[in-house]
Structure 1
Amino acid sequence: MSKFEQQLNQQLHDLAKEKAPQRDLWRGIELGIEHQHDTGTVPQNRHRRLAAVAASVALVVSLSWYGIQQTSVPATDHPTGQALVKALSNQHEQQKQALLVQYTDAPAMTENWEAQLAELDEAASAIKAALKEDPNNGALLRMLQQVHQQQITLIERVHAPQWQQI
């Protein structure tokens, strides 16, 4: 055994077997427990756990309900392919015409808004042509919806800009 190890063993042997704290620690522990109950830390953690469990249960229930609804509704009730494209286009055209009628007497804030509207119409036509080749393409359907929304937004902003609204 080396000299260092011998010294270490001797120092360990010389240490007292029990060491008493310099002051009474129970009072501090008791105050800590009381403070924890007074501030509501323990119940708050319990509420958080309960809220997390409730949110998890709600998520499972809603996903289950959605799954049941999807399996119980016949596929013929949901338009797909060209029928969906036609339904989206008809709905958009009605909404667009209603806005144009609503803003007939309102002055336009820009000169070239009709040209922009025509460009968006051309984009929608190109997307519809692509959808004829791949009618169930989700990305193309989303693009068509975005173009339709851009047209609605253009009409609204040209005739009733945000700075004019209260």
Structure 2
Amino acid sequence: METFEKHLEQQLNALPRERQPDKDLWQGIDLAIQARSDAPQTKRQPVWLASAAVLMVAVIIGFMMQPFSSAPETDPLTGQSLVKALSQQHEKEKSALLVSLEDTPAVTGNWQEQLTELEDAAEAIKAALQEDPNNTALLRMLQSVYQQQFLLIERVHAPKWQQI
């Protein structure tokens, strides 16, 4: 292992300290800033939709974590039933987001691989939640992975005027 680290350090030291872009980027930055300020507010619907979905998941988690002191015992969502409800809600929102963006071309080709990796991470967290179903840290991690999925989908389908 030590030779690997030495080899890695040698390789890193051999890399140039600075790298200049192949072309002048200021023109693209200027166009993106102008386009963003000139764009109508309706272009931001996917951002709003994803934000609303994340907020809804957070509210559901917060509501379900509150103790029910005056309410009768009516089988509140906890443990695996909470995870299942969150997952179903997320899939519904993700499908709606994908449908709303299906006519918008993706700006990168490997985004579905990245989405699959995030789905695998969510499945690993769900497996950990089977062992400890009321672990709030794991629930937050699951929510974070779901939010990352929304952001990934939203970013790869961003209109060209938003790209620099």
Matched with 1:115 is 113
Q: Counterpart of 1:111 in 2: which secondary structure?
A: coil
CA RMSD after TM alignment:
2.2
Query: Identity over aligned residues, as a percent?
Result: 68
1:142 aligns with 2:121: no
Could you report, residue by residue, the CA deviation over 1:135-154 in whole angstroms, capped at 9, with x for unpaired residues?
Answer: 01110011000000100111
The number of equivalent residue pairs is 97
Give the TM-score taking structure 1 as reference length.
0.54
For the Cα contact (< 8 Å) 2:118–2:145, is it kept in 1? yes
Q: What TM-score does the superposition give when structure 2 sets the normalisation length?
A: 0.54
Q: Which has the higher helix share?
A: 1
Aligned counterpart, 2:123? 125
Match of 2:141, as an amino acid?
A: M
Larger Rg: 1
Partners of 1:78 and 1:159 in 2: how far apart? 38
Question: In the alignment, is residue 154 of structure 1 matched against residue 155 of structure 2?
Answer: no
Higher RCO by CA contacts (8 Å cutoff, separation 6 or greater)? 2
The residue number in structure 1 matching 2:98 is: 100
- Letter of the aligned partner of 2:137 in structure 1? A
1:101 partner amino acid: V
Quickly say closer, same or farther: Cα 1:138–1:162, change in 2 above 3 A: farther
Per-residue CA deviations over 1:103-144 (Å, capped at 9, x if unaligned) read 111000111110100000000000000001110111001100
Q: Secondary structure at the match of 1:83?
A: helix
SS at match of 2:69: helix
Question: Aligned in 2, Cα 1:75/1:134: closer, same or farther, shift over 3 Å?
Answer: farther
Structure 1 residue runs without a partner (length 5+): 1-68
1:89 to 51, 70, 87: 87
Deviations 1:68-110 (A, max 9, x none): x842234536300000000000000000001111111100011
4+ residue runs over 6 A deviation: none
Secondary structure of the 1:72 match is coil
CA distance 1:161–1:106, shift in 2 (3 Å): closer
Cα distance in 2, alignment partners of residues 162 and 134 from structure 1: 44
Could you say if the C-alpha distance between residues 74 and 164 of structure 1 is closer, same or farther in structure 2, counting changes exceeding 3 Å?
Answer: farther
